[in-house]
Amino acid sequence: MRILAVCGMGIGTSVLLKTNTERAIQELGLDADVEIADIGTARGAAMTADVVLTSSELAAELGDMGVPIVVVESFIDGAEIRDKLGAAVTG
């Protein structure tokens, strides 16, 4: 599975989201890789992603990407990321 972490600039907050998503993947026992992207490159990067994680503001900008978009309120809340990601990948 490929997970795409998207933030506005693809630098600071996406790295934070990536780190916490990798922890969530371990806790969920998933076989997945996490990549980061900024809002400008996210659409192209999502073509090979299974799930996109981002904020509500950026989710609205991204629109329909053809894959599930998981909206995360706090990029530092590992429990939120784990719970929302788990719900998205298990149906």
Instruction: Give the residue numbers annotated as catalytic, written as ranges.
Output: 7
- Predicted TM-score of the model (pTM): 0.90
Spatial distance between the Cα atoms of 29 and 16, rounded to a whole number of angstroms = 20
Question: What per-residue confidence (pLDDT) applies to 9?
Answer: 73
Q: Which domain holds residue 38?
A: 2-90
Count: domains in the chain: 1
Q: What's the CATH number where 68 sits?
A: 3.40.50.2300
Q: What is the pLDDT along the chain (91 residues), one digit of tens a residue?
A: 999 999 887 677 888 899 999 999 999 999 999 999 988 888 888 888 999 999 999 999 888 888 999 999 998 899 999 999 999 988 6
